[in-house]
Chains A and B, each alone.
Chain A
Amino acid sequence: MTVVEQQAATAPAVAASSRKRSFKPRYPGWLTAPSLVYYAIFFLGPMAILVAFSLATQQGFGSLSYGFNTSQYGQIGNSLYVNIFIRTLVMASVGSLLTIAVGYPLAYWMARYLSTYKLLALLLIVVPFWTSFLIRTYALKIILDPNGYLARDLGINILYTKYAVALGLVYNYLPLFILPVFASLERMDWTLIEAATDLGARPLTAFREITLRLTLPGVVTGALLVFIPMTGEYIIPNILSGGNYEFVGNAIGDQFNSAQNQPFGSALSIALMLALSVFVAVYIFFATKEERFGA
């Protein structure tokens, strides 16, 4: 009884101040403490030691002396490693462009022409992405096998070449590109296209002037969303190029596996992160732009 009265009394007040409410349920800030401590130890810790290692000096096998030795970084200037960096960036760019070419029309089709089956199509895009990366890469390898049908009967023998790596990149990262682009196409107001064509614009012109412009931030975000992990890729070049076509990630792995030159591997890691940070900055720029446009 009293509760009801109280509510009745406060109801108009709430309605009147609905724009600026005094009450905001908040959860205490210390709830972030466990994660913060965890990140500080097990994420920032490894990153810090990585920096320390990259500046250390190797003394014989497996023994280090810390210091400020930048010679490891100088070694990256070696044409062998410059080439690996260039190859990685070129392959990631090619992979991203191919992903755009394959994925954009699909996202467009989903947003423009589907209604009942839209969610099903979305699910079909997501499912491969949630299944094991390794299994999908392996599946691709079976198809591309030199003894398989593709090579034997159709003459497409590309396993262990850069073409197989590019195919693997597109195959594995396509869903990751389609989702954000689909989201930005979903937000599009299609009546704008109708208006444009009613006013005499040809469909292609309407697409170029309206659809493409409005979804470009989404495309750039999606492209960087795949470009960034492609640059750090390790599994795909290893399996599909059989070690013939190394990415920076593989070069780093080698330093820790077989070569046992951990300071140099650490320096390569730092260099990779620095290279990536440029693209991450661009990504953040476009992502905030996209957010503002969407809101």
Chain B
Amino acid sequence: MRRLPKAKLGFTVWAVLVFAFLYLPILVMAIFAFNKPAATSLASFHGSNVCSIPPEQVGNITVWNGFTTCWFPAGIHDPTYIPAIITSLQIAAEASVISTVLGLAAALALARMRPRLRAPFDALVYLTLVVPEIVIAVASLIFFVQLRNHFGAFPDLGKATILIGQVVFNASLAMLIIRARFVGMGDVLEEAAYDLGSGPLATFRQVTFPRLLPGIVAAALLSFTFSFDDYVLPAFTNGTTNTWPIVLYSAVRFGLTPAVNALATIMLGVTVLAVTVTAVILRRSRAQVGAGRERTRGLAITVGGLR
């Protein structure tokens, strides 16, 4: 027993190191959003706004050169980034709504279906999550091109095809999250509602849906985030449409300015806010459901959906 505090100390030190490992890169990226261009580059630059320096002349920006906030307006006013972000937001909103509706409908029916009937559907759902995204991306690309060639009504590669592809795995994810919540809820209150003379629709509206709501919101928010952050599928099915991850990716690969850090930092802030809101909602729903095991599993499923 004497050894225990020492062991605890060791584990705590390890934990601190791991958290540092997880957060340090993100922190550094955010700090460097406030970084000036290299001093040698600035010496030959005569504009009033140091952030309007051409990207190829920005110099070494992975070491600290001084503080400036001008990358934030520079990023926000950039002609490529903002339209791409708006496109991504639009696709993510649509993907989130469609996926949540599909997932909710399926989750309701599946949760209480006989296992033998449920199994094929489950297999399909897990398949959509296990197949590597790059495979889904190239398969969707050739599929969409073929559809376009044979059916004039099918849209060209672009926003619509990105959306269609993303709904596949987001619907699976939404279904799993909502079903975990639904199963955890039990059916006692619904039974009570039926006993008290409430019809199926009224029961759904007044009993089931309000209690499911936290799960539904979580599924919608997560679908939104995953769609918004998704790079691989849009990279192959975008046609000429630019999404935020696509412009970010090319910026990351082919030289960039701290304006990208500034925008990434804003995005990060928004995501953290959304995650915190989701966590609070989930926590409240946990208190209602009161199923201890379902909680961590729900979380694992929630996170496990991402490839």
Residues of A within 8 A of B (CB): 3, 7, 10, 21, 23-32, 34-36, 38-39, 42-47, 49-50, 53, 102-103, 105-106, 108-110, 112-113, 119, 121-143, 145, 147-149, 152, 171, 174-176, 179-180, 182-183, 186-187, 197, 203, 225, 228-229, 231-235, 238-239, 242, 249, 252-253, 255-256, 262, 265-266, 269, 272-273, 276, 280, 294
**In contact, B121 and A36 (Cβ under 8 angstroms):** yes
- Bound state CA distance, A179 and B295, in angstroms? 11
Residue B12 CB within 8 A of the other chain = yes
Contact of A34 among B1, B3, B105, B187 (CB under 8 A): B105
Given contacts A25-B203, A109-B14, A138-B264, contact A266 B296 (CB under 8 A): no
Closest chain-B Cβ to A15's Cβ sits at a distance in Å of: 13
**In contact, B146 and A175 (Cβ under 8 angstroms):** no
Which residues in A have their C-beta under 8 angstroms from that of B110?
Answer: 32
**In contact, A35 and B103 (Cβ under 8 angstroms):** yes
- A-B complex: 5 closest residue pairs judged by Cβ atoms: A232-B132, A46-B139, A139-B25, A31-B109, A148-B62
- Bound state CA distance, A116 and B228, in angstroms? 33
Which of B47-55, B74-82, B229-237 is near enough to bind chain A? B229-237
**In contact, A29 and B143 (Cβ under 8 angstroms):** no
Which residues in A have their C-beta under 8 angstroms from that of B117?
Answer: 29
Which residues in A have their C-beta under 8 angstroms from that of B297?
Answer: 183
- Bound state CA distance, A187 and B296, in angstroms? 10
**In contact, B132 and A273 (Cβ under 8 angstroms):** yes
Which residues in A have their C-beta under 8 angstroms from that of B8?
Answer: 113
- Bound state CA distance, A127 and B272, in angstroms? 7
Residue B245 CB within 8 A of the other chain = yes
Contact of A123 among B279, B293, B304 (CB under 8 A): B279
**In contact, B300 and A183 (Cβ under 8 angstroms):** yes
**In contact, B196 and A234 (Cβ under 8 angstroms):** no
Which residues in A have their C-beta under 8 angstroms from that of B141?
Answer: 256
| Number of chain B residues whose Cβ lies closer than 8 Å to a Cβ of chain A | 99
- Bound state CA distance, A137 and B25, in angstroms? 9
Contact of A235 among B191, B196, B232 (CB under 8 A): B232
Chain B, range 96-123, C-beta contacts under 8 Å to A? 102-103, 105-106, 108-113, 117, 121
Question: Could you jot down 24 A-B contacts, CB within 8 Å?
Answer: A26-B112, A27-B112, A29-B109, A32-B121, A42-B143, A42-B168, A43-B124, A43-B136, A43-B168, A109-B11, A112-B11, A123-B276, A123-B279, A124-B23, A131-B271, A136-B25, A176-B306, A186-B296, A197-B1, A232-B132, A235-B249, A242-B253, A253-B236, A269-B138
- Bound state CA distance, A16 and B13, in angstroms? 55
Which residues in A have their C-beta under 8 angstroms from that of B106?
Answer: 31-32, 34-36
- Bound state CA distance, A83 and B208, in angstroms? 53
Residue B22 CB within 8 A of the other chain = yes
Residues of B within 8 A of A (CB): 1, 3-4, 7-8, 11-12, 14-15, 18-19, 21-26, 28-29, 32, 60, 62-63, 102-103, 105-106, 108-113, 117, 121, 124, 127-128, 130-136, 138-143, 146, 164-165, 167-168, 171, 175, 187, 190-191, 194-197, 203, 222, 225, 228-229, 231-232, 236, 245, 248-249, 252-253, 260-261, 264, 267-268, 271-272, 274-276, 279, 283, 293, 296-297, 299-300, 303-304, 306-307
Contact of B12 among A42, A46, A113, A179 (CB under 8 A): A113
- Bound state CA distance, A124 and B272, in angstroms? 10
Which residues in B have their C-beta under 8 angstroms from that of A203?
Answer: 3-4, 7
**In contact, A176 and B3 (Cβ under 8 angstroms):** no
**In contact, A127 and B131 (Cβ under 8 angstroms):** no
Given contacts A135-B264, A135-B268, contact A38 B167 (CB under 8 A): yes
**In contact, B134 and A135 (Cβ under 8 angstroms):** no
Given contacts A24-B187, A35-B175, A280-B130, contact A134 B135 (CB under 8 A): no
Given contacts A50-B139, A129-B306, contact A134 B231 (CB under 8 A): yes
